[in-house]
């Protein structure tokens, strides 16, 4: 069993941050999401790969993160950028080989970085062996019971079995053709048609995934990010939703195919598998639920370790709203003893630099940097998405011909393109160095990249920002250094709110014992505010340390870290 720390602040003990074997390492870990297609291209074909990841691990070490989460690199026809898995135990040749995956895990461990892999259990690819056989064998095949095959409604079965819609737009059902060429049963896919949902009531599905967990645990991974963790179990009888309307990725609705109570037995059984391995291997739920209390159910002591907190990601840049979400998130996790997680960007949402811009990119970057200092000052674990440490904006002018997101191509009933459909804009390959595209993403200047990069990204590359005072990259590095060293930062259960002017957030974190306390102040307004300095300024999101003692002025859209 995982040892729960009696005193959560012990998890921030500065002697051994991030070292393998540190108990409760995941309670305050900073976890960096690598989206392999777009991180680094080792072989020059324009697509990121595992060799590229391996070569760039030192960047992540220098950045100061504890762990790396790799989005899927499994064998896949790439109908949904690898979230359509054809073989859960094989690497797609476009990313490399199992040998490369093994090398990434080993090298990361040598650097003191942990590796979390993405597991996609809600659905597979329509090219998965089980599904291909289920189709080929026709109605009545026992393999069909591992998916949701149903006859259609209407005289000739020409209507889908129920009214559920795909998250990517259009019906959540696709009609099959029988082996003799006649129209056949329908199958359920909450996402693209190439992503049939598994039937998790079937014991073979449960056995298979426990075996897949062990396969990767045996290779040495430190945990799993569990894709659509709230979707595995569907309400009995697959009842109609009773209303039309496009469902949202990362939505909060109560639905018959999400967040059913039955999912928790699955995670309890996975926890026992994780516990068979030394070193606290973890499970992280991607669970979109209606409330933070529902999210907390995924991280009860005998289930998973963490769940993403999309309520924080969804909050607008407003002091009151942020404070509400922070309190609500901490309150929800406290009773189950799990750390809260914080995330601002990932491969499914518009980058936060652009989300916060309100039409002014400079303002967006200012707020994004402040939001990062806010996030890293909060108790719990934080997730970073590749490129945010460079302050990359969303690319909003990709030519349609370059896009690959299936949500862009699936058309909803009203003839509009599927909701979302913008996910390619946060997936543009990141710039590393040089003045010519692909800016070090691939080995050769002038070489290919699977999505075009804006010219302005030359100035945002890792090389361009390294050592440049005030750069976003240096801000992230400093913040992660301070976070690691300061005894009041890292794990914890609450923050102490301090009185502050309107539009300003101010909170204290206590180190306990003789350790120094810590205060974070965030000015979310567009105006400078006068504040009584709570201590000595350690770090400021815009790089300008407020001068003087006593009353200081904090610039608009900035966060300040104070040693108290």
Helix (H, G, I), strand (E, B) or coil at 164: coil
Instruction: Please state, in angstroms and rounded to a whole number, the distance separating the CA atoms of residues 4 and 408.
Output: 44
Provide the CA 533 distance to its chain's centre, in angstroms.
Answer: 35
Please identify, using beta-carbon distances, which residue of 347 and 369 lies nearer to ligand GLC. Answer: 347
Point out the catalytic residue in the list 253, 275, 276, 320.
Answer: 276
Catalytic residue at 276? yes
- Which of 25/147 has CB closer to ligand GLC? 147
Go through the chain and tell me how many residues it has: 564
Cβ atoms of residues 34 and 386 within 8 Å: yes
**Least Cβ distance, residue 515 to ligand GLC (angstroms):** 38
- Distances in Å between the Cα of 30 and the Cα atoms of 127, 371, 409 are 35, 15, 34
Closest approach of ligand GLC to the CB of residue 120, in Å: 6
- Count CB neighbours of 499 within 10 A: 7
d(CA 521, CA 541): 11
Give the count of alpha carbons within 13 A of 14, CB side only. Answer: 13
Query: Judged by CB, which is closer to ligand GLC: 238, or 250?
Result: 250
Closest distance of CB 249 from ligand GLC, Å: 6
The active-site residue, picked from 41, 227, 286, 348, is 227
Radius of gyration of the chain (CA): 24
In the complex, minimum distance from the CB of residue 384 to ligand GLC, in angstroms, rounded to a whole number: 16
Q: Residue 35 or 270: which CB sits closer to ligand GLC?
A: 35
| DSSP H helices in 314-447 | 319-333, 352-355, 361-377, 406-409
Q: Which residue is nearest to ligand GLC (CB)?
A: 83
As measured in angstroms, the least distance from the Cβ of 346 to ligand GLC is 7
Interface residues with ligand GLC (CB under 6 A)? 80, 83, 120, 191, 227-228, 249, 286, 347-348
Of 287 and 520, CB closest to ligand GLC: 287
Q: Least distance (Å) from ligand GLC to the CB of residue 432?
A: 24
What angle is formed at CA 430 by the lines to CA 85 and CA 92, rounded to 5 degrees? 20
97 vs 411, which CB is nearer to ligand GLC? 411
CB proximity list for 363: less than 8 A, separation 6 or greater: 356, 357, 526, 557
What is the edge-to-edge ordering of all strands in the sheet holding 496-497? 496-497, 504-509, 518-523, 558-563, 536-540
- Active-site residues: which are they? 227, 276
């Amino acid at each position: 069993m995982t040892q729960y720390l009696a005193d959560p602040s012990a998890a921030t003990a500065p002697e051994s941050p991030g070292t393998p074997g540190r108990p409760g390492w995941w309670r305050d870990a900073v976890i960096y999401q690598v989206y392999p297609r777009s991180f680094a291209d080792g072989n020059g074909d324009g697509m990121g790969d595992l060799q590229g990841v391996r070569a760039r691990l030192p960047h992540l070490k220098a950045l100061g993160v504890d762990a790396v989460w790799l989005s899927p690199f499994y064998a896949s026809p790439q109908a949904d950028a690898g979230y359509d898995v054809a073989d859960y135990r094989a690497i797609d040749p476009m990313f490399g080989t199992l040998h490369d995956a093994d090398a990434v895990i080993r090298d990361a461990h040598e650097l003191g970085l942990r590796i979390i892999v993405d597991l996609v259990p809600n659905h597979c690819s329509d090219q998965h062996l089980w599904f291909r056989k289920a189709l080929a064998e026709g109605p009545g095949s026992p393999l069909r019971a591992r998916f949701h095959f149903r006859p259609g409604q209407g005289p000739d079965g020409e209507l889908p079995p129920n009214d559920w819609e795909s998250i990517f737009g259009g019906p959540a059902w696709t009609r099959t053709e029988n082996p003799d060429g006649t129209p056949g049963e329908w199958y359920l896919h909450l996402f693209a048609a190439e992503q049939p949902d598994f039937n998790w009531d079937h014991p073979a599905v449960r056995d298979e995934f426990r075996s897949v967990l062990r396969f990767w645990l045996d290779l040495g991974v430190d945990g799993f990010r569990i894709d659509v963790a709230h979707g595995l179990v569907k309400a009995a009888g697959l009842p109609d939703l009773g209303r039309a309307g496009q469902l949202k990725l990362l939505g909060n609705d109560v639905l018959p195919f999400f967040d059913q109570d039955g999912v928790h037995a699955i995670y309890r059984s996975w926890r026992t598998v994780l516990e068979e391995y030394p070193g606290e291997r973890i499970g992280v739920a991607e669970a979109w639920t209606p409330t933070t209390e529902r999210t907390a159910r995924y991280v009860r002591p005998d289930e998973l370790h963490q769940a993403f907190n999309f309520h924080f990601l969804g909050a607008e840049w407003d002091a009151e709203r942020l404070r509400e979400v922070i309190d609500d998130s901490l309150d929800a996790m406290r009773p189950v003893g799990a750390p809260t997680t914080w995330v601002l960007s990932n491969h499914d949402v518009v980058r936060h630099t652009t989300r916060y811009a309100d039409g002014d990119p400079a303002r967006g970057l200012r707020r994004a940097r402040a939001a990062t200092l806010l996030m890293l000052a909060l108790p719990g674990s934080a997730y970073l998405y590749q490129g945010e440490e460079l302050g990359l904006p969303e690319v909003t002018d990709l030519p349609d011909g370059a896009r690959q997101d299936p949500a862009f191509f699936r058309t909803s009933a009203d003839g509009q393109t599927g909701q979302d459909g913008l996910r390619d804009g946060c997936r543009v390959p990141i710039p590393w160095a040089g003045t010519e595209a692909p800016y070090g993403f691939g080995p050769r200047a002038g070489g290919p990249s699977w999505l075009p990069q804006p010219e302005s990204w030359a100035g945002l590359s890792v090389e361009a920002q390294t050592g440049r005072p005030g750069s976003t990259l240096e801000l992230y590095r400093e913040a992660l250094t301070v976070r690691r060293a300061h005894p009041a930062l890292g794990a914890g259960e609450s923050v102490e709110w301090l009185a502050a002017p309107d539009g300003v957030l101010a909170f204290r974190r206590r180190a306990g014992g003789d350790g120094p306390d810590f205060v974070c102040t965030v000015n979310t307004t567009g105006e400078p505010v006068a504040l009584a300095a709570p201590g000595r300024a350690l770090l400021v999101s815009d790089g300008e340390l407020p001068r003087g003692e006593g009353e200081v002025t904090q610039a608009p859209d900035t966060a300040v870290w104070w040693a108290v």
